[in-house]
Every structure is written in C-alpha cells, then in structure tokens.
Amino acid sequence: MSWDPPPSVAAKLPTLPETPGVYLWKDAAGVVLYVGKAKRLRSRVRSYFASDHEASVKTQLLVRLIASLDTIVVPIEAHALILEANLIKEHRPRFNISLRDDKSYPYIKVTLNEPFPRVLVTRRLVHDGARYFGPYTDVGAMRRALNLVKRIFTVRSCQYALPDDAPERACLDHHIGRCKAPCVGYQTEADYRGMIDEVVLFLDGKAQEVVHRVRERMTIAAAALDFERAGEYRDALRHLEQMEEPTVVVQVEGGDRDVIGYARDAGDACVVVMRIRGGKLLARDQRFMDNIEGESDEAVLAAYLNGWYRAAGERADELLVPFDFADREVLEGTLERTQVLVPQRGPRRELVAFAEQNARHLLEEFRLAGMEVEERAASPVYELQRELGLPRLPRSIACFDISTAQGTDTVGSCVWFENARPRRGEYRKFKVKTVVGTDDFASMREVVGRFARRRLDEGKGMPDLIVIDGGKGQLQAALDALADAGVTDQQVISLAKRDEEVFLPGRSDPVRLPRRSPALRTLQQARDEAHRFAVTFNRARRTARTITSELLKVPGVGPQKRRSLLHRFGSLQGVKDATPEDIASLPGFSLVTARRILDALSGTAPSAPNEPPLAPGEPTG
C-alpha cells in the first residue's frame, strides 16, 4: 500500500529537481513537521508516498499530517547536511530526532577574547568574541587542520587563564619545542599575538602567506644545520599543499546578511531573500512579481527592494544583490544601517549564486504548477537570457543553417533544442527553391520564411529564440522573412563562426560571451548541430542526383524500374555490385533486362540519352 500525497504536494512531485537539497514537510497550519536532507530531492520526497512505512509508526503519522512542501536546493550534498542542522535548530520540528546535548558539526575555535588565545574544537557557537572556522562535515579534515596548526605554530595547549592563572614552571610542550611558554614569561603577549594572527590567516583560507613564512623558516633551520627542525617544516609544507578546506554553507564569522536571488521568465519573476543570521542560513523568503512586461530586470529588482524589502521589519547589516540598479545609493540611505553590495567574486558572490539557484528553482516550480511549461529549464538557459538581455527565457531554441555546393543543391536546416537538449522530432530540412546560385542571404530568408508560415498554418507556436548561423546579413534576412510572415515579436540572434560573436537586432556592436560560458556552449552546440544536419542533407541530394543521372543512361529503364532498383539496392554502387539473378528477382525485370542494365553501367552498352526524367514524387535517394 502507498499513500496519496495532498494536491499541493502531488503537483510538485514530478517537477522536483534531482539535485541535492533540503525539504521541509509542513502541516495545514504551515508549521514545520520535519526537515530532511536529500542527495536527490525528487527521489527522496517521492519515497514518502511510495510505500506504507509499516516499520515506522512515526513516519505513517507524519505522512498523514503532511499538507505542503518547501524545498531549498544547494550546490553539493555536504551543504545539505549543514543546512539541515541549521533549520532543525531554528524550527525544532516535532518529527526530527532531538539531541539532548545539542551537538552539531564541529568548528575550530580561536579564543581571541583571551590575552593568550588557544585553538580548540567546539560544537557550540557563542558570541563571545572568539573566531570560529567551519563547520566541518569531514571531522578528519578538521582534525588534520588542527594538527597542522599545532605542528607549525607554537600555540599553547594548556587550560590556564593566562596571565592571572599560571603554573610555576613550563610544561613538557616547551621542552620539545611545541610551545614557547608564555605562561612563565618566556614569550611576550605581543609576540604570541603575532603568531595567533598567522593561525587565523591560515584557517581563513589565506595559506599562501603562511606557506611563504614556513618555507623561510625551513631555509633558516637548514642553514643552521638544524635538520630535524627543517624536516618538520618540510613535512608541514607538504601537509599545507594537501590541506582540505572546510565545507561551509555560509561564513560563520560573517555576521548577518540578506542575500537576494533573482530569476525571470517572460512576464513572471521571482525574488528570493536568503536570511543569514550569525553566519548561518536560517530562512528563505520569496515573492513572485507580475505585471512586469516591458520592464527591465533592474527596474523589477528596484521595485521589490523599494517596496516589500524596505517595509520589512527585520533587516541585516549587509544586503547582497545580483546586479546593480538605478538609485541604489538612494535606497541604501533609506535602509539606515544596511549596506547594499553587488559582489563580483569571492564568498559573497557564491552566496548570491546560491540565492539565484533557489530563485530559478522556485520560478520553475511556479510555472510548472500553472501548466505554463512542461519541464524545468536548465541553468545554461537562464545564463543565456541574462548574458543577452532577453526578455523571455529561451527554453526552446530553433537554429538555422544553409549548405550549398558551389551554388547547386542548396538546402537549409532547422534544429530544435528544448532546455539546452536536442529535440529531434522537431528537426526540419528544406530544399531551397527560389534561389539560383550562391546567395546565403536570400536562401536564409526563404528557409526562415517557410518555417514561420508553416508553424503558423499548423497552429504551432514559434520557438522562444531563433538562432541564425552567420553575421549581420543573415540576421537581417531572417528578420525580413519573419516580418513578411507576420511574426513581429520573435527573439532572434545570429552567431558568427569566426570570433563567436553574437549579433542582436538593433545593436551595432556584437556581444562576446566568455569562452567557457555554458550559454555560449549551448549556442555552439545548436549551431554545430544545424550545420551537421544541413551538410548531411546536401550530400544526400548530390549523391541522389548522381545515381539518378547514371540510371537515366540505361536503355529500357523507366521511373518505376529506377525506383525499384534504388529501393532494393540502396545506391548506384549497390546496383553495380548486384548479380543478374538479383536484379531479375525484382518485379518487372528479366535476366535479359538485368544484363542490359549491368552492361550499361559498366560502359559496354550504348546509352539512352532520350530517357524520360524522373516522374513527380520519385525519390532521389
């Protein structure tokens, strides 16, 4: 027996992504019942309704109480572990396991609030002036970091409250070179603090400066013939090079931040606020924006911030936004203590990318629930929209190319990509009929025009984006063809092969996308597929024309017999390689006719120059 999910959950199940994340089950009142992590959100959430959970009465009760579902996507599974722990502490769901000692993922703590700081492990974050590094999902990595600190730096390991509470003599660590004994005055507070600054620098991920200093000390020790100490520094350098960085969702020491994520598709937009307090992600709020047709992304974001966000009662010290907008400084002045930043790189930019990923996730969920789209858009599609400034998300892309052989057998191709993946059922090929000789512009105009008129006649929608293989000339030819067909609001661009420049209507200068951009790779994949499809069709036409012209020389072989030969043997060479008996086995053929055909193809019989041409509808290959 399986359980039927409530309607709101059932609508979301087919469209959940197979990516890492956290899910929150809620009851009818909106109270969080359970917080769970998942390596693949869709599979994990579906599992709740795929069995009867006979082994767990608690899970059976949970499933009965479920009324709605929230999901938060994260880049990797380790982030889901940390986010799950943070949300459990924030919401305290009744169906999650309660740990009496409130343990969590470990941190490395540097007690900067003490005159002679220590470096130790803790699982509790306290606002006591200390610096916390982590959290570490891999305890082994955390232990290696701590051991490396103790190997390189002479950090005291005692528990004395220096300088008030101190021992009478130095401990064993001092005698083996692991501590300079600040407890008995052998190291000044200023010297010890300088060493702690290096510890913080190393734990903060800025290890290159530490590597430089350790290498200098190794050189000095070797010059002083202290090879044992030099060997220790050498081993420390080796560990530094292999050191794993802690996995973090947010910066523990980063304070309070509000991070804005933004996603847009045609007339819908979603703005997400990730609320980070005390360095931990505690909540996510979202708002869907409508009535935005004709408005720029900057205007939509500014309207949200000036309206809903500014009116919010609780704001953080920092507000991170994905892009700049007009009147940003004016808005910042109205937010009192909140500073508005547009990060371009580093940890802050990673937080914005995290928020944008969730904005896209929620917008896709919203449009899927409204039956506006059939499946989620891939990330490169959103990047393509952002890089080119397209008002509508290019979920469907049709790409056109022209292929000709010195002005003969000119053909066109159209390949269709849906969410950055080929959809071969929508591929189309065209024989160019109105153009004589080599004229790429006229050929492109004919092909695009025929495509648009046929889509309209069949009642099919146009693609979100048309990509033309070529430069400004090909782009203008396509625009003219669409205008003639009555299509006036189509998004069209062209991609030039030489420098991979993107041309947009109304812009004189091309757009250059980064070489490693997923958006550019999507355009290149569509362009290359259209080229392959066009060239293949062009070669097939030339081959068919060659076969037909050879068979026209054979006396006594009319259109019907030519069709039978091509259908049976596939090509001219296949006919040449056949035996008289093979040909005679075909309906309407005899051994005499078969021998005459083979003799004509081998050049030993007279040809028939007045043989009638192919009948209408006869295949060409």
The CATH number that applies at residue 321 is 3.30.420.10
* Residue tagged 């069949």 (tokens): 458
How far apart are alpha carbons 612 and 621 in whole angstroms? Answer: 18
Do 489 and 419 lie in one domain? The reply is yes
Q: Which domain holds residue 58?
A: 7-91
Do 410 and 526 lie in one domain? The reply is yes
Do 566 and 507 lie in one domain? The reply is no
pLDDT of residue 495: 93
Over the chain, what is the mean pLDDT? 81
Number of structural domains (the chain) is 5
Do 480 and 526 lie in one domain? The reply is yes
* Residue 291 within any structural domain of the chain: yes
| pLDDT, tens digit (0-9, with 9 covering 90-100), for 274-283 | 888 777 776 7
Task: Provide the percentage of residues in the chain whose pLDDT is more than 70.
Answer: 84
> Last residue of some domain: 62, 91, 120?
91
Do 437 and 508 lie in one domain? The reply is yes
pLDDT of residue 239: 65
Do 235 and 308 lie in one domain? The reply is no
* Residue tagged 């610096």 (tokens): 131
Do 264 and 303 lie in one domain? The reply is yes
Single-letter residue type at 33? L
Closest Cα partner for 353 from 278, 453, 471, 274?
Answer: 274
> Does 290 have pLDDT greater than 80?
no
Give the N- to C-terminal CA distance of the chain in Å, as an integer: 56
Return the higher-pLDDT residue of 21 and 368.
Answer: 21
Do 421 and 478 lie in one domain? The reply is yes
* Residue 547 within any structural domain of the chain: no
Is the distance from CB of 226 to CB of 214 less than 8 angstroms? no
Instruction: Report the relative pairing of strands 492-496 and 501-503 from DSSP bridges.
Output: antiparallel
> Does 246 have pLDDT greater than 80?
no
473 pLDDT band (50/70/90 cuts)? Answer: very high
Do 515 and 422 lie in one domain? The reply is yes
> Does 546 have pLDDT greater than 70?
no
pLDDT of residue 252: 37
Average pLDDT over residues 601-621: 47
CATH code of residue 19:
3.40.1440.10
457 pLDDT band (50/70/90 cuts)? Answer: very high
> Last residue of some domain: 194, 209, 242?
242
> Does 309 have pLDDT greater than 90?
no
Residue 579's Cβ-count burial label (10 Å; 0-12, 13-18, 19+) is exposed
**DSSP secondary structure string, 512-566?**
E--TT-HHHHHHHHHHHHHHHHHHHHHHHHHHHHHHHHHHTTSTT--HHHHHHHH
Do 116 and 195 lie in one domain? The reply is yes
pLDDT of residue 523: 93
Q: How far is CA 394 from the centre of its chain?
A: 15
Return the higher-pLDDT residue of 320 and 74.
Answer: 320
Is the distance from CB of 131 to CB of 253 less than 8 angstroms? yes
Do 262 and 313 lie in one domain? The reply is yes
* Residue 376 within any structural domain of the chain: no
| pLDDT, tens digit (0-9, with 9 covering 90-100), for 104-139 | 567 888 898 888 999 888 877 777 788 887 666 567
Do 495 and 432 lie in one domain? The reply is yes
297 pLDDT band (50/70/90 cuts)? Answer: confident
**DSSP secondary structure string, 239-255?**
HHHHPPPPP-SS-GGG-
pLDDT of residue 213: 77
pLDDT of residue 426: 92
Q: Which of 165-169, 212-216, 450-454, 569-573 has the lowest mean pLDDT?
A: 569-573
Q: Answer whether the bond into residue 616 is a cis peptide, omega within 30°.
A: no
| pLDDT, tens digit (0-9, with 9 covering 90-100), for 433-448 | 888 888 899 999 999 9
